[in-house]
Amino acid sequence: MVIVFRASRNTKTASDYYAGGRAFTGPQNGIAIAGDYLSAASFLGIAGAIAVYGYDGFLYSIGFLVAWLVALLLVAELLRNTGKYTMGDVLSFRMKERPVRTAASLSTLAVTFFYLLAQMAGAGGLVALLLGITNKTGQAAVIFVVGALMIVYVLVGGMKGTTWVQIIKAVLLIAGAFVMTVWVLAMYGFNFSGLLGAAADVAGDKVLNPGAQYGKTEISKLDFVSLGIALVLGTAGLPHVLMRFYTVPTAKEARRSVVWAIWLIGLFYLFTLVLGYGAGALVGSDVIKKAPGGVNSAAPLLALEIGGPLLLGFISAVAFATILAVVAGLTITASASFAHDIYANVIKKGKVDDKGQEVKVARITAVVIGIVSILGGIAANGQNIAFLVALAFAVAASANLPTLLYSLFWKRFNTNGALWSIYGGLAVTIVLIVISPAVSGAEDSMFPSLDFALFPLKNPGLVSIPVSFLLGYLGTVLSKDSADKAKQAEMEVRSLTGAGAEKAVSH
C-alpha cells in the first residue's frame, strides 16, 4: 500500500492511469508481465494439479508457457505500435469506431470476469487453509476483504501502482518457489528421478504417465486437446496481458519485456513441476483433496510439511499478494476498457477531457467490477482455479484473438467481420461453457446438484476458436462494406515500424 500511494503522486493524466506514463523499461515491464501472468492459477492451481494428476497437471504449465511464443511472434510489438491504451484502439484503427470499440470492451469485460472468478476463488481457499475457516460464510467474508483491498489498489495507484505491485510480487513469488524447489530437491539428494519415484510410491505409477486426468475416455482426450488449444492461443488475446505492452516507451522495449517474461515464466513453471510432485510425495494427494482449499492447497501444505508454520506463512503471504496483484491488474484493464472505449469514444465521441473525466469514470467502473467479482468469487469458491483460468483463456482465444490477427494481417477485413468474430466467438464460448460439465452434471461442476450439460467438453476451445475464425471470415466476405485501404496501409506501416505510435511521456 505504501508503494501504491507513492506511485499515485504522479498519476494525473489518462496516460498515467492506463499506461503508467509509458515510463517502464523492458526488463521492468517483463517482470511485471510475469507478475500479471503468474496468477493464483499458476502457483496454487498447477502445483495442485501436478500433485494429484501428475503428468496431466503439468500440461497446464506447458500450455501457459508455449502460449508466450504466440504472443511474442504475432502480437506484442505490432499491438504496441498500433494502439494507445486498450485492445479497442487496435481493433477500431481501420474500422467503424463506435460498434467495434463497444464489442472489444464487452469481450474484455467477459474475459476479465472469468479470470477474476479464478483469483477470488483462490483467495477463499488459501485463507480457509491458513486460518482454518471451513464454513462458506467465513470464506465469503475473506473474498469480500480481498475484493475491497484490490479496489483500493486500483483507485489509488492506477497502472503505475499496479505495475510496481506486480514487480515486487513476481520477485517474491519466484524467490519463494525457488527456495521451496531447492528444499524439496535437497530432501532427495538433488535427484529428480528419486522425487518422481517417491511420488509414484505414494500415488501409484499413474502420476508419471499421461491419462490420469484426461485419458479415461475418448471425450476426456478431446477435452485435453481443447484445453491445450485454449491455453496456447488464449494468452495472445488476454486484455490484461495485452495492456502491459502499452507501458513501455518503444517497440524495442516491448520485445525485450516479452523475452524477460518468457525466461521468468519458464523458470517458474519448471519449479511447479518439483513443487507438484514434491507435494504428491510428501503430503499425499488424499490429504490435499480433503484440505479446506482442495487441490489449490498443495503448495501451502508442502510449505507447512517442509518448513513448518514460518514457511507456510511466507508462501501464503506470497500467494495472497499474487491474488491481489493479478486482481488489481485485471480490474484496471476492465475499467480502462469501459472508460476509454465506451465512455470516451462511444458515448462522448472522443470529446472528453483527458485529465479528469475519463479517469474518474474508470475509477467508478473499477468499484463496480470489484463488487461483481466479489459476488462471482463467492459463487465459484472451491473450484480448481487453474481450470477456471482455462475458461478465461477459451473466451480470450475465441472472442479476441481471431479479430486481432485478422485486423493486423488481413487487408480485406472489415467492421462486419470484426463484429461477427467478437460477438459470435463470445456468444458461442459462453453458451458452450454454460451447457458443459464445467457448470452442471458432474461431481466437480460449479452446480453439481443440477444437470443441464448438453455439450460434452469442459473446455469449449476446440469448437469455439475455429467457429470464431470462420465467423470473422464469413462476416467479411458476405458484407458489402469494403475495407478502408488508406487506413489499412497506415496501420500496416505503423504496426511494423512504429511510425506515429504513442511515445513515452516525461513529467
Q: Distance between CA atoms of 36 and 33, rounded to whole angstroms?
A: 5
pLDDT over 90 at 327, yes or no:
no
Q: How confident is the model at residue 503 (pLDDT cuts 50, 70, 90)?
A: low
Q: How far is 48 from 287, CA to CA, in rounded Å?
A: 11
Per-residue pLDDT at 488 exceeds 50: yes
10 Å CB burial of residue 404 (0-12, 13-18, 19+) is: buried
Q: Is the pLDDT of residue 254 over 90?
A: no
Q: Which residues pair with 440 in a beta bridge?
A: 447
pLDDT at 506 over 50: no
Query: For residue 353, what is its C-alpha cell?
Result: 477531457
- The DSSP code for 355 is T
The yes-or-no verdict on residue 19 having pLDDT over 70 is no
What pLDDT, in 10s, does the model give residues 118-150? Answer: 777 777 777 776 777 777 788 888 888 878 887
247 or 429, which is more confident: 429
Segment 329-346 shows an average pLDDT of 80
Task: State mean pLDDT over 320-329.
Answer: 79
pLDDT at 183: 95
pLDDT exceeding 90 applies to what percent of the chain?
20
Q: Which helix (H) or strand (E) holds 477?
A: helix 461-477
The reported pLDDT for the residue numbered 15 is 61
Q: What is the pLDDT of residue 186?
A: 95
Grid cell of 86 as nine digits: 486498450
- The pLDDT score that the predictor gives to residue 416 is 92
Assess whether pLDDT exceeds 90 at residue 273: yes
Q: Could you give the CA distance from residue 233 to residue 235 in angstroms, rounded to a whole number?
A: 6
pLDDT at 116 (0 to 100): 82
**Residue 30 corresponds to which cell in the numbers above?**
517483463
Selection from 162, 154, 192, 227 nearest residue 3 by Cα: 162
In angstroms, the CA 214 to CA 314 distance is: 33
Whose grid coordinates read 484445453? 227
Over residues 309-321, the mean pLDDT reads: 85
Q: Of residues 170 and 251, which shows the higher confidence score?
A: 170
Output the average pLDDT for the chain. Answer: 82
| Residue 123 CB coordination number (10 Å) | 32
Q: What is the mean pLDDT of residues 311-320?
A: 85
Query: Any alpha helices (H) in 337-383, and if so which ranges?
Result: 357-380
| pLDDT at residue 133, rounded to an integer | 78
pLDDT of residue 45: 82
> What's the grid cell of residue 24?
517502464
Residue 90: pLDDT band with limits 50, 70, 90? confident
Q: What is the pLDDT of residues 436-469, one digit of tens each?
A: 888 888 777 777 788 888 898 888 999 999 999 9
More confident call, 377 vs 416: 416
Quick one: pLDDT band at residue 20, thresholds 50, 70, 90?
A: low
Is the CB of residue 153 less than 8 Å from the CB of residue 119?
Answer: no
* pLDDT (0 to 100) of residue 504: 44
* Torsions phi, psi for 253 (to 5 deg): -65, -30
Read off the pLDDT of each residue in 271-297 and give the average, rounded to a whole number.
Answer: 87
Stretch 187-192: mean pLDDT: 92
Q: pLDDT higher for 279 or 238?
A: 279
Mean pLDDT within 258-276: 90
Angle at 44 between CA 60 and CA 243, to 5 degrees: 70
Question: With 90 as the cut, is the pLDDT of residue 390 above it?
Answer: no
Q: How far apart are CA 355 and CA 350, in angstroms?
A: 13
Q: Which of 173-177, 324-328, 470-474 has the lowest mean pLDDT?
A: 324-328
pLDDT at 79 over 80: no
Q: What integer is the mean pLDDT of 391-398? A: 88
Count of H helices and E strands in the chain? 22, 0
Other C-beta atoms closer than 10 Å to the C-beta of 500 total: 11
Query: DSSP state, 501?
Result: P
- 204: alpha, beta or left? (left if phi > 0; alpha if psi -120 to 50): left
All three cell numbers of 362: 474508470
Q: Which of 4-8, 10-14, 214-218, 362-366 has the lowest mean pLDDT?
A: 10-14
Tell me the range of 158-167, 329-338, 377-386, 420-429 where mean pLDDT is highest: 420-429
In the predicted structure, residue 176 carries a pLDDT above the cut 80: yes
Highest mean pLDDT, choosing among 272-281, 354-363, 490-499: 272-281
SS3 176: helix
